[in-house]
Structure 1
């Protein structure tokens, strides 16, 4: 119990300066795996051995086996690509850890001087490396991710040191409740000596439950619980500003149809995304998402599609397996 208690004591120290101010490192808000993308954009309460979920909540690592590996590619928009990967490994008597990397490549941009003369191109990219560990006491699990995030544009860069703290309570085998303090920390270097901004701190609460005789698993996740500025009102488009609508903008809904151990269908909905990205005349499917899981022998393949706007959406493709099991296939 000493390690969880020690971590919990430091939560206020990492979270004190996160409300208000100019936010940076917005790539931290991008979805890092197809499963979460299909379930409305985030899911913190799924603890069934899927290592990709440790990007959402480090507490799920108590269910992840050693040598699990996960890779993802997400063609975002325009020439932007998002790549993610995670690997679980064991360190002697300390237990199982997971290491993950999120990499966002924004492509190449044209560089010009003040008169418009072409001087070449320059890159822009973000990456976040994280290391996670979880510890269980009875039905309760506490986990932590230490994250180093770096953003670079041409020769300028900014770096932040962050911490995620997550907990999961297993009510029974079909019902879990979770809470995550996400991106606690601060920027340790800015693009210039005079730049200063806040990281996107968030608190999430979620639950996953499966009715005993139904082949469907439901997931509900609430986000932006401490940030009043996260819910903006747009009165120019005649959108609802009622209190109920404000509440729903903080809720993501998802469901997994468990057709078999080797094939699943997923659907999700984000009301915030729908209200902020829909056109005034038509919704265009904004806010809705779907996906599927196909397991071939020991390899789990996932594909998801999240609709952001009438103009299109974003696709997520991933592969997950256990290296030991993969060797058996070969």
Structure 2
């Protein structure tokens, strides 16, 4: 375990070299669970036994029991589908681990020659397999996950070995602060000798707070802390360039209305998404998201909806349960 902690503390230093260049592997930036989707697109500071947060921050695994299972489907845009799943298990003398899979199916595309003649079709897809573990040190928890990510387009492919390293500090039972280094690593194969996109390294800092006598829980998550320029030049046309606006583009806000243990409502806001995807004369709801959680016996169901632009948004549906409790369900 000491070796694991030492490696996890050292590897984030390598991530700073990933800043800049043309980015690839953008599927790694997709939201992979409805809870995060409803809270503005990302949330890293939960430590309440929710295995779906493993994709956001591996340090959240310290509160997850073995035999927890999670599955999500996200009909994205233009017939693109995103699937994700995770399972937690015990390893003798080593503790609890979680394994996760994210699969993005971009669908079929027409293949043509230089003259536009139809030659057939081809597929494009990305997938990421990861395994992680967390270790608690008093009020502080350190977690890490190793990821193998592969992207393929027709007969071309690229593979990367990456790592997420995160931590959570529990100030008290109602207040947590977290930080995570995402996608540390490098590619081991390229699409071609002419292609050298960078992996989307990111640093996030967030906090979750619940007022003691209120049925509300608030979440704030900052992103892109390792990147000075997070907007493309063409996306800034007609948008505010004030310093405050640039700061808010790094902030995601969310709130959960805790009506009961079995029913919750969620809302969120991403200023970056609003500013970059809104219409010139109207926001059309871009940047806002919402969702709900319903728990029936031991099965937790979640639905979220994130609005990206005037043309619509994306829905997220998931199921989570503890296999230890199946006998109670039946």
Cα gap change, 1:6 to 1:111, in 2 (>3 Å): closer
- Asked if 2 retains the 8 angstrom alpha-carbon contact of 1:299 and 1:326, the reply is no
Cα gap change, 1:50 to 1:237, in 2 (>3 Å): same
What's the CA shift for 1:16?
A: 4.0
- Asked if 2 retains the 8 angstrom alpha-carbon contact of 1:108 and 1:124, the reply is yes
- Asked if 2 retains the 8 angstrom alpha-carbon contact of 1:231 and 1:246, the reply is no
- Asked if 1 retains the 8 angstrom alpha-carbon contact of 2:204 and 2:224, the reply is yes
Structure 2 Cα separation of the partners of residues 329 and 250 of structure 1: 42
Give the aligned partner of residue 300 of structure 1.
300
- Asked if 2 retains the 8 angstrom alpha-carbon contact of 1:233 and 1:241, the reply is no
Give the aligned partner of residue 68 of structure 2.
68
Give the aligned partner of residue 137 of structure 1.
137
Secondary structure of the residue aligned to 2:18 is coil
Give the aligned partner of residue 266 of structure 2.
266
1:36-51 → structure 2 map (5 Å cutoff): 36-51=36-51
Give the aligned partner of residue 82 of structure 2.
82
Structure 2 Cα separation of the partners of residues 235 and 300 of structure 1: 38
Structure 2 Cα separation of the partners of residues 236 and 195 of structure 1: 27
Structure 2 Cα separation of the partners of residues 313 and 43 of structure 1: 19
Secondary structure of the residue aligned to 1:31 is coil
1:1-330 → structure 2 map (5 Å cutoff): 2=2, 3-13=4-14, 15-232=15-232, 237-330=237-330
Question: RMSD in angstroms over aligned alpha carbons?
Answer: 1.2
- Asked if 1 retains the 8 angstrom alpha-carbon contact of 2:57 and 2:180, the reply is yes
CA shift digits 1:244-270 (9 cap, x unpaired): 000000000000000000000000000
Structure 1 Cα separation of the partners of residues 62 and 235 of structure 2: 46
What's the CA shift for 1:230?
A: 1.2
Count of matched residue positions in the alignment of Structure 1 and Structure 2: 329
Unaligned runs of 5+ residues in structure 2 are none
CA shift digits 1:9-31 (9 cap, x unpaired): 23223x14201111100000000
- Asked if 1 retains the 8 angstrom alpha-carbon contact of 2:45 and 2:207, the reply is yes
